[in-house]
Amino acid sequence: MLIASFNCNSVRARMPVLKRWLADTSPDFLCLQETKVVDGDFPVDEFLESGYNSVFMGEKSYNGVAIISKTKPDSVFHGFDGKGSDEGTRLIAVKSGKINIVNTYIPQGTAPDSEKFQYKLHWFERIKELFDSRYKKSDILIWVGDFNVAPEPIDVHNPKRLLGSVGYHPEEHRALASVKEWGFTDIFRKHTPDGGNYSFWDYRVKDGVARGLGWRVDHIWGTSKASDKSVRSWIDVEPRLWEKPSDHTPILAEFNF
């Protein structure tokens, strides 16, 4: 079973990349963030043509999450309340058989001295509460998405300079670590101990991929029952080098379920 996460930065603008990548890679589940489209305009039919079912919730211009999959999930949960009225365009979860997948687009946070940064920190508390209330630590639970945090020094290209900036801030590290303590393993890191593996490169940095000026802010985490069944995890840099790329690139994990 192959599960992927990709901040596509507009699902409509990224359709050529998405179709090509799905045909090449054939994941069972692809979790998308920043779809930037209202539900009525989500490209359901185009994904169907590629062989994928879609569940999603979006809004005009900003945010938006989706999970596309080869088989239709048994159930879908939107936002913190399940119905989508509270952060439904940043959190979508599915259950498919025994497998639970939570896909999040965590707030970016803007600047450490901003209210939005506090909101981001609070978001980690809230999702920990969701894990507590909705899931068991013995579940097969896979949490993926754009967490907008690079957890370790090896996850940014210049940790000394970047420490304290949004995405690599001690308060974010504490907040994320607290969620991890609930019972998650960083599945990518389990299989790939080396630094320099990034999932995001700013559009404004010229030749950022070639120059290694990236961040690992997209993640696939899992409970022990998920992590123990993971056989490999990797970041596919190629789509970031294609024409009209997202500023992120897909991260994947393969499981022996």
Partner DNA sequence: ATGGTCGTTGGACGA
Distance from the Cα of residue 192 to its chain's centroid: 18
Of 68 and 140, nearer to DNA (C-beta) is: 68
Residue with tokens 């294609």: 242
Length of the chain measured in residues = 257
Distance from the Cα of residue 120 to its chain's centroid: 15
Of 52 and 117, nearer to DNA (C-beta) is: 117
- Interface with DNA (CB under 7 A), residue from 25, 26, 165, 185: 165
Least separation in angstroms between CB 120 and DNA: 9
Binding to DNA by CB under 7 A, coded x per residue (else -) over 62-101, reads x---------------------------------------
Please report, as residue ranges, which positions from 229 to 248 form the binding site for DNA (by CB under 7 A).
244
What is the C-alpha to C-alpha distance for residues 18 and 12, in angstroms, rounded to an integer? 9
- Cβ 57 vs Cβ 50: under 8 Å: no
Beta partners for residue 76, in sequence order = 94
Instruction: Say if residue 203 is exposed, middle or buried (CB neighbours under 10 Å; 0-12, 13-18, 19+).
Output: exposed
- Interface with DNA (CB under 7 A), residue from 83, 137, 161, 174: 161
Please report, as residue ranges, which positions from 108 to 147 form the binding site for DNA (by CB under 7 A).
108, 110, 116
Binding site for DNA (CB under 7 A): 9-10, 12-14, 36-37, 60-62, 107-108, 110, 116, 148, 158, 161-162, 165, 202-206, 213, 244
